């Protein structure tokens, strides 16, 4: 099949459904498509990636410190530049250089306000939109959780994922039937 032209058509060897099987567990009646948990994670992950990218861009392309100085402020500019980054060096400058403002530290770049909040919100909403808590995925900030509470969290996440687990089981059975058809066909040939 190419565009509207059919080059060759034949009856598929497997007549019990489509040859492409899906593992998704939810059906969208409005758009008539099957979807899984990844669809719910699209928006939160988009915000998380965007905010992280912006933070990294800001860090990478802004000033990371340093100094601006006039050439008359020091006798040996090369030695000054070498010693400036050292924490234990005593740097000799000409009289009046510091008080006259001939040496000025470069402004340190600050992250725009609110980006860390956007990133935290995006990360926390990953669990909220799917109903799967971070503890189920192995991340726990609270080490003092009782075993009963942990068990309840695991049961909650398992019940949220139940339809997807069922769809994986059904996929495995359907896919095995599809492969049996093709194995029979290969054995006959």
pLDDT of residue 24: 67
Q: Which residues contact 12 (CB under 8 A, 6 or more apart)?
A: 19
For 127-186, write each residue's pLDDT tens digit. Answer: 777 666 666 655 666 667 677 776 777 677 667 666 666 677 777 888 888 888 889 888
Radius of gyration of the chain (CA): 31
Q: Residue 33 and residue 95: Cα distance in Å, rounded?
A: 77
Q: Which residues contact 133 (CB under 8 A, 6 or more apart)?
A: 127, 153, 156, 157
For 39-81, write each residue's pLDDT tens digit. Answer: 777 777 787 888 888 888 877 777 667 778 887 888 888 888 8
């Amino acid at each position: 099949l190419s565009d509207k032209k059919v080059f060759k058509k034949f009856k598929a060897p497997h007549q019990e459904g489509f040859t492409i099987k899906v593992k998704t567990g939810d059906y969208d009646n409005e758009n008539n498509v099957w979807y899984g948990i990844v669809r719910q994670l699209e928006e939160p992950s988009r915000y998380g990636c965007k905010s992280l990218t912006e933070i990294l861009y800001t860090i990478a392309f802004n000033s990371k410190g340093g100094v601006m100085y006039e050439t008359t402020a020091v006798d040996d500019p090369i030695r000054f530049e070498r010693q400036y980054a050292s924490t234990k060096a005593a740097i000799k400058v000409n009289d009046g250089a510091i008080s006259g403002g001939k040496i000025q530290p470069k402004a340190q770049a600050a992250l725009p306000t609110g980006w860390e909040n956007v990133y935290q919100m995006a990360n926390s909403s990953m669990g909220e939109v799917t109903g799967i808590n971070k503890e189920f995925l192995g991340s726990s900030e609270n080490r003092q959780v009782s075993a009963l509470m942990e068990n309840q969290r695991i049961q909650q996440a398992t019940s949220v994922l139940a339809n997807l687990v069922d769809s994986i089981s059904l996929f495995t059975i359907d896919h095995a039937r599809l492969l049996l058809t093709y194995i029979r066909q290969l054995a006959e040939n």
